[in-house]
Amino acid sequence: MQEKENTALRTATVTRSTKETDITVTLSLDGTGVSSINSGVVFFDHMLTNFTKHSGFDLALECKGDLDVDDHHTVEDIAIVLGKAITDALGDKRGIARYGWSIIPMDEALARCAVDLGGRSFCVFDAKFKRAVIRGFSTEMVKHFFVSLSESMKANIHLSILEGENTHHKIEAIFKSFAYAMKAAVAVTGSGILSTKGKL
């Protein structure tokens, strides 16, 4: 994996090439929610577009994956690269709020998310979906995406569906809830490191 970093601007570009995927991500944490996303999985593109729109991050993502096999490698590897880009863009995390949380409704669905950018990986995910696949996107990959993202970002991510029936609504609420939690967590609210360890 190759990456370029500019922590002053809180931007990063990360590329990753394997026999399964070829991915380039350019991210700005201080954007306006502008995105250009092509994962090859239409519904996943829709979810990532929602994430950027509601987080205020700018995201350009191009992925060529082995979708002739299935969507697993594409979704997993995008999580790895996106997590690395977020980590690189945050730099030493000086001044950030570190924690973020949100509860987001999407019609009958209600999603809750809390994140901690404290440098430790852990994901708790509590949601069940009635549909197995939406437009080429396996719904089991929602959990796997956030688990892989948590590991790549070295962050705690707690996600749950509190109410809901419609699979599309539940997944969209999850991504939007994560977006607002991340928007809060990366916000610059001070000048120091928000940890008694002196490091995040």
Which one, of 77, 15, 22, lies nearest residue 5 by Cα? Answer: 15
Question: What is 11-47 written as a DSSP string?
Answer: EEEEEEE-SSEEEEEEEETTS-S-EEEE-S-HHHHHH
pLDDT for residue 2: 60
pLDDT for residue 8: 66
Digit-coded pLDDT (tens) for 80-106: 999 999 999 999 999 999 999 999 999
- Joined tokens for residue 163: 């109410």
Distance CA 64, CA 109 (A): 32
> What pTM did the predictor assign?
0.95
pLDDT for residue 43: 98
Cβ contact 169:86 at 8 Å: no
pLDDT for residue 180: 98
CATH code linked to domain 2-186: 3.30.230.40
Residues of the chain with pLDDT under 50: 4-7
